[in-house]
Amino acid sequence: MRILPLKYRPEVDGLRAIAILPVVFYHAGLFGFSGGFVGVDVFFVISGYLITSIILTERRAERFSLQRFYSRRIRRIFPALFVMMAVIYPIAFVLMGPFEMAEFSRSVVAATVFLANAFFYDISGYFATAAEVKPLLHTWSLAVEEQFYLIFPMLILLTWRGKEKRQVTLFAVLALLSLGLAQWDIAQGKSDRAFFMLQNRFWELMVGALAAYWLASPRGRTLREEGRFRHAAVAGLALILIAVFAYDNETPFPGVAALLPCLGAVLVIAFATPQGIAGRILGWRPVVFVGLISYSLYLWHVPLLVFTRIGTGRADTALMLGVCALAFVCACLSLRYVERPVRRMHDLQPLRLFGTAAFGMALIGGLGLAGAKSEGFRASYLEHRLDPITRANFEKFSPQATRSQVPDDACRFRDEVLRDAFVERFETCARSHGKAVFLLGDSHAENVYNALRGTDDLPFFVGLTRGGCRPYQPKPKCSYEALVPFLEQHRESIAKVIFHVSGSHYILDHRNEGDSDAAFVPGAPARFAEDNIVKTAQYLARLYEGLDVVWLGPFAEARVDLNNPENYSPDRLRFNPVSLVHFAALEAMLKAQAADQSAFRYISLFDALAFDGDTLVQQDCLTFWDVDHFSPCGERLFGPTIAAALEGKTAQLEQVRP
C-alpha cells in the first residue's frame, strides 16, 4: 500500500469546531444543547484518525520513531494544559473552601499524570449535579487520549510485519470488543465506568484509526477525492447534530448511543472535500479558526464556568454566555502565546523537551500534592478567613457531615438491586418472621430505612434502595420493573410497601433540570415536573392490588452547602427558606395527585416533620450531611416521628428531640 504524505485538511479543523461548541454550550447549561457532551466523542474519532494517519505516513516512509511521536504529543498537550492549571490554582484557593480545595488539588495531581478519568470515576459521575463545581472534570478526556497514545503506537509497531488487512481486522475486533464492554457496563448499571474508562472508549478512537487506514488505501483515497459520496459528509454532520439536540443526561451513554456521533464524524472525515457542501461549511475560515482554538477552548471553558457558579451563586443564561465569550478570549490568547510558539520548537533537543515536561509535571503536581496533604490548606483557611463563631461552629458540626453506614442485621437488610441473594434471604426471613415491611426508593429512602432501623420496632424490615433510581426514569441499574412480579409472588409475606423518593427531583430549575441548586437560589420560581409526578402515581398503581402500598412523601431539604465553611455562620446555618417554600408547594401537588387514588395511600412526611429554619441544627446535632440527606444523628432524631407517621399516630418533632 502506497501512502502519500499527510496533507492539511481544513474541514477536519472545521469538524473540531462542530465538536467543541456543543460541549461548551452543554457545560454552560444553554437550552437546546442537552446532548452537547457528544462533542467529546467526535474529538476521540478525530484524534484516532489524525494519530493513525501520522503514524502510517511516517512508518511507510521509514521515519517513524516513538521519540518523535511523543515529542509532538508533549508540545501539543502539555504547555496549554499546565498553563491553564497554573492560572486557575490560585483562583481556586480564593474561591473554594478546604473540602473543595482538597478535592480540586487531588484532581490537579490526577490531571498532571493523566489519570483524571480514573479519579473522577472514583468520586463522582459526569452527569451528577456536583460535577458543575469540579473545575478539572473535563480533563478526563485528555487522560483517555494520553492513555490511548501510550498503547496504540505500540500495537501498530508490534503488528506491522503482518499484512495490513490483518492489522485492520485486529483493530476492528478490538473496537467491537470495546463497544460491547461499554454496552455491557451500561446494562449492568455501571454507566460511570462506561463513560470514563479507556477500555470503554477505546472503540471510538479506533473508529477514527480505521478511517485513517481506509483513506490511506487507493480505493478510499480515490472515492474521497472524486467526491462521489460527498453528500455522505452532510449526512455525517446531521448525525452529529441529531445527537447534540436529541440526547440528554438520561441517555444511556456511551455504548451504542455513541455510534451516532462517531459514525457522523467518520462520514465527515471520509467524504468531506473542499468542493462539497460539508467541506465548504467546515472549511469556512471562521469555522476553521474555532477548530484551531478548540483545544484551548476546551481547557478553559469548564474552570471559568465553575468558578463563576461558585463565586456568584448564579447560572443564568446571560452570565453563562458572557463566560463562554471570556473562555473564547482565553483560548485565543493560549493559541497565540502558548500553543503556537511551543509547536514551532522543532529543534528543541529531546532530552531538554522531556526534562522540561517532567519539571512542569513536578511543579503542577507538587502544587496539587501540597493542597491535598494540607486538606485544602484547611488550617490557614480556618485561621484567616473565618470569624471565631463561624470557626467554632465549623469545627463542632462539620465532622457530623458524613453519610450513615448501617450494617445488615439478621432480617433487617437493604440492597440496591433485586438479586438472587436478596430473594433467598427474604424468603428465609419470611419463614421465621412472617410478613415484612418493604421499603422502596432512592438514596432518600436509604435515609428513611436508617431512621426506621433505629427505632427497633421492625424485626422483618427490608429495603430496596438505590441513589438515582426513580420509577419515572427507567435505568438498567434500577429494579422497579423487576420488583412488580416479585411483590405479586411474595404478597403473602409482605405487610406493607413503603415508597419514598427525593422531592427535589420534582422541582425544576430554569433549564428544566431537577435536583439542581439553581432551583433554590433566592428569587427562583417554583417549577415542577408534573409529568414525573403522574408517572410515579401510575407506577404505584401497578403494584399488586392486594398490598398495602404507602407513598411516603418527600421531606423538605436543607439545600445548604455544608462543605462551605462560611455557611457555618449563625445567619447561614439554617434551612434554605426557598426550599421550604418550594417543598410546601410540591406537597400540595402531591396530595392533589394522590387524592383520588385507591391503589395506594399517601402519607405526608413534610407535614409530620414540620421542618422550619431552625431544624438544620438541633442542640448538638447537624441534622443533614449535605444539601438533601439526613446525617446519622438526623436519622436518629427523626426516626420516631417517621415511624409514628407511618402508623397514623402523632409524634411532634419537638417531643422526640433530645
Whether a cis peptide bond, with omega within 30° of 0, leads into 476 is no
CB within 8 Å of 620: residues ≥ 6 apart: 396, 633, 658
pLDDT of residue 280: 94
* Four-residue CA torsion sign, 610, 616, 622, 627: positive
Q: Is residue 585 part of a domain?
A: yes
* Four-residue CA torsion sign, 609, 614, 619, 625: positive
Per-residue pLDDT averaged across 136-146, rounded?
A: 97
Cell numbers 496533604: residue: 373
**Residue 216 above 80 pLDDT?**
yes
Q: How far apart are CA 652 and CA 607, in angstroms?
A: 10
By CB atoms closer than 10 A (0-12, 13-18, 19+), residue 445 is buried
Q: Per-residue pLDDT tens for 472-520?
A: 988 778 899 999 999 999 999 999 999 999 999 999 987 788 898 889 9
Q: Is residue 393 part of a domain?
A: no
Both 409 and 347 in a single domain? Answer: no
pLDDT of residue 44: 98
Q: Is residue 390 part of a domain?
A: no
Picking from 319, 347, 380, the residue at the C-terminal end of a domain is 380
Poorest-pLDDT segment among 93-97, 331-335, 455-459 = 455-459
Both 84 and 207 in a single domain? Answer: yes
* CATH number, domain with residue 470: 3.40.50.1110
Both 312 and 434 in a single domain? Answer: no
Per-residue pLDDT averaged across 335-346, rounded?
A: 87
Query: pLDDT above 90 covers what percent of the chain?
Result: 75
The model's pTM: 0.86
pLDDT of residue 658: 33
Both 414 and 372 in a single domain? Answer: no
pLDDT of residue 127: 67
Both 297 and 346 in a single domain? Answer: yes
Per-residue pLDDT averaged across 238-259, rounded?
A: 94
Single out the residue of 502, 396, 394 nearest to residue 447, CA to CA: 502
Both 348 and 417 in a single domain? Answer: no
Q: Is residue 638 part of a domain?
A: yes
Question: What b/e sequence results for 132-151 when a residue is b if at least 16 CB atoms lie within 10 Å of its CB, and e otherwise?
Answer: bbbbbbbbbbbbbbbbbbee
Both 52 and 124 in a single domain? Answer: yes
Q: Is residue 512 a contact partner of residue 521, using CB atoms and an 8 Å limit? A: no
Both 371 and 480 in a single domain? Answer: no
Q: Is residue 278 part of a domain?
A: yes
Both 364 and 467 in a single domain? Answer: no
Q: Beta partners for 415?
A: 464
Picking from 333, 352, 380, the residue at the C-terminal end of a domain is 380
CA dihedral 260, 130, 441, 620 (to 10 degrees): 180
Sheet holding 601-603, edge to edge: 412-415, 461-465, 436-441, 494-500, 549-552, 601-603
Q: Beta partners for 436?
A: 494
Residue type, position 652, single letter: Q
Rounded to 5°, the CA angle 132-16-238 comes to: 95
Q: How far apart are CA 557 and CA 638, in angstroms?
A: 13
What is the per-residue DSSP string for 239-296? HHHHHHHH--TTS--SGGGGHHHHHHHHHHHHH--TTSHHHHHHTSHHHHHHHHTHHH
Q: Per-residue pLDDT tens for 160-173?
A: 876 778 889 999 99
Both 453 and 415 in a single domain? Answer: yes
- Structural domain harbouring 514: 398-653
Q: Per-residue pLDDT tens for 545-570?
A: 889 999 999 999 999 999 899 999 99
Picking from 349, 380, 411, the residue at the C-terminal end of a domain is 380
Single out the residue of 248, 249, 310, 314 nearest to residue 520, CA to CA: 314
**Residue 6 above 70 pLDDT?**
no
**Residue 3 above 50 pLDDT?**
no
Q: Is 18 left (phi over 0), alpha (psi -120 to 50) or beta?
A: alpha
Q: Is residue 40 a contact partner of residue 141, using CB atoms and an 8 Å limit? A: yes
CA dihedral 73, 78, 81, 85 (to 10 degrees): 160
Both 516 and 610 in a single domain? Answer: yes
Across all residues in the chain, what is the average pLDDT?
91
Q: How far apart are CA 224 and CA 271, in angstroms?
A: 5
Q: Where residue 131 falls among pLDDT bands split at 50, 70, 90?
A: low
Q: Is residue 389 part of a domain?
A: no
Both 541 and 415 in a single domain? Answer: yes
C-alpha cell at 295: 483545544
Single out the residue of 479, 457, 460 nearest to residue 468, CA to CA: 479
Q: Per-residue pLDDT tens for 462-480?
A: 999 999 899 998 877 889 9
Residue type, position 300, single letter: W
Q: Per-residue pLDDT tens for 374-394?
A: 999 999 999 999 999 999 999
Q: Is residue 385 part of a domain?
A: no
CB within 8 Å of 291: residues ≥ 6 apart: 12, 13, 14, 15, 16, 17, 20
Domain count, the chain: 2
Q: Is residue 208 part of a domain?
A: yes
Q: Per-residue pLDDT tens for 252-308?
A: 899 999 999 999 999 999 999 888 999 999 999 999 999 999 999 999 999 999 999
